[in-house]
A and B are shown apart, each in its own frame.
Chain A
Amino acid sequence: GAVVSQHPSWVICKSGTSVKIECRSLDFQATTMFWYRQFPKQSLMLMATSNEGSKATYEQGVEKDKFLINHASLTLSTLTVTSAHPEDSSFYICSVSILLGIQYFGAGTRLSVL
């Protein structure tokens, strides 16, 4: 069965609105989760490392005020795309690292900003 649950799987929103994406670790306590972004026909780009109980670590070039990450519990991390614009349209994927290096991925969220 699935290790990671990501919700919603698809969201369409108007420009200027904020969108929250949830990532839940179903069977494991996850002190660390990862958020990725994937453009069509491209690889996964790590956006940030989400740490339970502390601030997320963002990769260079990722706006922390634009992509708010909250990891309030050992099983839930959320990514909020604030004031979304069409250029934020993408496929967002979260993952949980349980065993050394192995990451289990959520099903992803397709965000379309009109």
Chain B
Amino acid sequence: AQKVTQAQTEISVVEKEDVTLDCVYETRDTTYYLFWYKQPPSGELVFLIRRNSFDEQNEISGRYSWNFQKSTSSFNFTITASQVVDSAVYFCALSEGSGGYQKVTFGIGTKLQVIP
């Protein structure tokens, strides 16, 4: 069975601080995908990134960066110079398999509050 653990349920930072959201996953498959989604107060989930299990390159997109470490089964998400608009619940997710429409397992989410 696949499992996603987000140990931080709530984080508060002051604007412009950097913050890292942790994600640890469990899977027996060698092929899998990892995701991060953002859920702002409005409720609609927004896709941020997908990473497949064969690509351990870290990725940077603006103020967002992701660190994928297969050795520790972690896929952490860092926001640099945080802004109030970053306040949201962030979900890490995992899907197994190499094709088709795979079910996605979500972590419990980390609520990030950026204080002005």
A interface list, Cβ under 8 A from B: 31-32, 34, 41-44, 46, 49, 91, 93, 95, 97, 99-108, 110
Contact = CB atoms under 8 A, between A and B. Distances in A.
Contacts of B103: 34, 46, 49
A8 B113 CA distance: 28
21 contacts: A31-B101, A32-B101, A34-B103, A34-B104, A41-B111, A42-B108, A43-B106, A43-B107, A44-B91, A46-B103, A46-B104, A49-B101, A49-B103, A100-B99, A102-B35, A104-B47, A105-B37, A105-B44, A106-B44, A107-B44, A108-B44
Interface in B77-116: 91, 95, 98-99, 101-104, 106-109, 111
B33 interface: yes
Contacts of B102: 97, 100-101
Interface residues of B, number: 23
Contacts of A95: 45
Contacts of A46: 103-104
Interface in B15-58: 33, 35, 37, 42-47, 50
Specify the main secondary structure of chain A where it touches its partner: strand
A91 B91 CA distance: 16
A87 to B, nearest CB: 20
B108 A43 contact: yes
B45 A105 contact: yes
